[in-house]
């Protein structure tokens, strides 16, 4: 399937020429930030890794270290994110999220929610284990608790059922109804087991059946029947099952809405989805909200940071 990203591999790619251009942009007094952002946002991640290797061969220096030395603030964070291989980027974000135990406890661990749902193979877990000494699942188990921990561990197994199990759609909806709306109290484990193990396409069928049965959307019932970190994670799973681009569009909107900007979330989504489905995220953003993603970024950020984000966005849908 063709990529729906806004960043694509450059057709006239020359790693040596790019490495030299970046070296010149940081040589001497001052830094040519425009060259850096224009070049790196116009190369795929795999091409950036080639540039990084060539830079070291030509100049005996680490490109990322040089960039960190020349740049600063949010712009530096964004550029370093672009220079990081996707799997390593996810590993770092997830590790950081786990370390911030206060965020986990308060249910604001958006890094966990964003990353865990999308890893469909055990390659991610293996990468985490090889990248760090401690086992990832042990870290999750040590820093979280209860049904929230159980759902995280299930998602880490990356072992969802494949396809639609037509014979269990109605029964899954019925079991969820019995565990929540029809019960005094809530059987959270049932929600964890079904939402954590079924495929996205199967869950969409279950949500339709649940609506007919209960009169509630699944999100409504989760908000009514659960709370705290578990509620947030269950809602993330449901929203992603319905539409990944819509989920990220909503994530970006609330990262910029109101006073202040959640730059960590803004950077993470723009970097990680730029080569995947940013075109679809833009379309969903325009459908769901009163302004385009481009115009909201333009109004909420500034300087070289804004220029780079707008290049990753790839165009306006006004």
- Per DSSP, the residues of 76-133 read HHHHHHHHS-HHHHHHHHHHHHHH-HHHHHHT--HHHHHHHTT--STHHHHHHHHHSS
Q: What would the pLDDT profile of 25-64 be if each residue is shown by its tens digit?
A: 999 888 999 999 999 999 999 999 999 999 999 999 999 9
Q: Encoding tokens for residue 36?
A: 């850096």
Cα–Cα dist 282/263, whole Å: 18
b/e burial code for range 92-123 (CB count within 10 A of at least 16 → b): bbbbebbebeebbeebbbbbbbbbbbebeeee
Q: What would the pLDDT profile of 208-266 be if each residue is shown by its tens digit?
A: 999 999 999 999 999 998 888 888 889 988 998 899 899 999 999 999 998 889 999 99
Q: What is the largest CA-CA distance in the chain?
A: 70
Q: What is the structure's pLDDT at 80?
A: 97
Q: Is residue 132 predicted with pLDDT exceeding 70?
A: no
For residues 200 and 241, the answer to whether their CB atoms sit within 8 Å is yes
Helix (H) or strand (E) holding 148: helix 146-157
In CATH terms, are 9-84+244-317 and 107-242 the same topology?
yes
Q: Which of 74, 77, 119 is nearest to 64 (CA)?
A: 77
Q: Is residue 78 predicted with pLDDT exceeding 80?
A: yes
For residues 248 and 256, the answer to whether their CB atoms sit within 8 Å is no
Cα–Cα dist 178/181, whole Å: 7
Q: What would the pLDDT profile of 172-205 be if each residue is shown by its tens digit?
A: 999 999 998 777 778 899 999 999 999 999 999 9
Q: Is residue 2 predicted with pLDDT exceeding 60?
A: no
b/e burial code for range 13-34 (CB count within 10 A of at least 16 → b): eebeebbbbbeebbeeeebbbe
Cα–Cα dist 277/25, whole Å: 31
Domain 9-84+244-317: give its CATH architecture. Answer: Orthogonal Bundle (1.10)
CA 87 to chain centre: 12
Q: What is the structure's pLDDT at 230?
A: 85
> What superfamily does domain 107-242 belong to in CATH?
Annexin (1.10.220.10)
Q: What is the structure's pLDDT at 205?
A: 97
Domain ranges of the chain: 9-84+244-317, 107-242
For residues 307 and 75, the answer to whether their CB atoms sit within 8 Å is no
**Cα four-point dihedral sign 226, 231, 235, 238:** negative
pLDDT confidence tier of residue 301, bands split at 50, 70 and 90: very high
């Amino acid at each position: 399937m063709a990529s729906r990203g806004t960043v694509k591999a450059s057709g006239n790619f020359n790693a040596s020429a790019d490495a030299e251009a970046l070296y010149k942009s940081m040589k001497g007094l001052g830094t040519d930030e425009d060259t850096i952002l224009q070049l790196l946002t116009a190369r795929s991640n795999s091409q950036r890794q080639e540039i990084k290797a060539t830079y070291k061969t030509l100049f005996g220096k680490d490109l990322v270290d040089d960039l960190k030395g020349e740049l600063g603030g949010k712009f530096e964070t964004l550029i370093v994110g672009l220079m990081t291989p996707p799997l390593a980027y996810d590993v770092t974000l997830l590790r950081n999220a786990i370390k911030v135990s206060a965020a986990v406890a308060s249910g604001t661990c958006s890094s966990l929610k964003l990353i865990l749902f999308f890893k469909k193979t055990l390659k991610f877990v293996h990468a985490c284990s090889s990248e760090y000494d401690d086992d990832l699942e042990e870290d999750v188990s040590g820093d979280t608790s209860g049904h929230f921990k159980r759902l995280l561990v299930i998602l880490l197994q990356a072992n969802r059922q494949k396809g639609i199990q037509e014979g269990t759609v109605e029964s899954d909806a019925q079991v969820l109804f019995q565990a929540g709306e029809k019960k005094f109290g809530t059987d959270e484990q049932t929600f964890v087991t079904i939402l954590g193990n079924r495929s996205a396409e199967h869950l969409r069928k279950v949500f339709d059946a649940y609506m007919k049965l209960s009169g509630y959307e699944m999100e409504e019932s989760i908000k009514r029947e659960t709370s705290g970190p578990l509620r947030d994670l269950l809602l993330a799973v449901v929203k992603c099952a319905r539409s990944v681009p819509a989920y990220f569009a909503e994530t970006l909107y609330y990262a910029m809405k109101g006073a202040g900007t959640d730059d960590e979330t803004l950077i993470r989504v723009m970097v990680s989805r730029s080569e995947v489905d940013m075109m679809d995220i833009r379309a969903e953003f325009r459908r769901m909200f009163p302004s385009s993603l481009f115009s909201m970024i333009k109004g909420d950020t500034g300087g070289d940071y804004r220029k780079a984000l707008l290049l990753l966005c790839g165009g306006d849908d006004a």
